[in-house]
Amino acid sequence: MHVLDRIERKVLLNAPRQQVWEALTDAEQFGRWFGIALEGKKFVAGATIEAPITYPGYEHVVWKARIERVLPQTHFSFWWHPYAVEKGVDYEKETPTLVEFTIEDRAPGILLRVVESGFDAVPEARRQKAFKMNSRGWDEQMSNIETYLSQARRA
């Protein structure tokens, strides 16, 4: 079975554009809904960032990403190794996938789209599992950011 090269998800968020943008690009806020301990960290284009995952069952994993681009109010992207969760495995020699978030006005809210591409370069032995786990993961993360923003509005 051929695994597709990209995962794409979108969600219509009932929140102001600035609030959606900050939830994506303020590292601490991103960590809160994504499940990473990013307190005191910043997303800077070209920089690599590492922090422990706080998501239940994955606390042994360190999230590592290289920030690609931060285009104010429209585009945020980073490179990472998909489903890099095995203890003792060095994923650094693998080609990472690119995760791109874009936001656009879409009445009555903001359309958030995430595309993760480059799965064709993931080693065949783990490509299908990485694709499947991240497909499921992005479904959950789109729901997480929606919940995070609705709780922020009520606070």
* Peptide bond just before 72 cis, omega within 30 deg: no
pLDDT at position 133 over 90: yes
Residue of 140 and 56 predicted with greater confidence: 140
pTM > 0.85: yes
Taking only the tens place, the pLDDT of each residue in 70-79 is: 999 999 999 9
Query: Does some domain include residue 120?
Result: yes
Backbone angles phi, psi at 90, to 5 degrees: -95, 110
**Domain boundaries, position 105:** 6-154
Query: Residues of the chain with pLDDT > 70: what percent?
Result: 97
Taking only the tens place, the pLDDT of each residue in 18-41 is: 999 999 999 999 999 999 999 999
Q: Which DSSP letter does residue 42 get?
A: -
Query: Rounded CA gap, 129 and 14, in Å?
Result: 33
* Structural domains in the chain (count): 1
Query: Does some domain include residue 59?
Result: yes
Token digits of residue 65: 């990403």
Helix 17-25 vs helix 124-154: angle between axes, to the nearest 10 degrees? 130
CATH of the domain at 118: 3.30.530.20
Query: Does some domain include residue 1?
Result: no
pLDDT at position 155 over 90: no
Query: Does some domain include residue 89?
Result: yes
Query: Does some domain include residue 15?
Result: yes
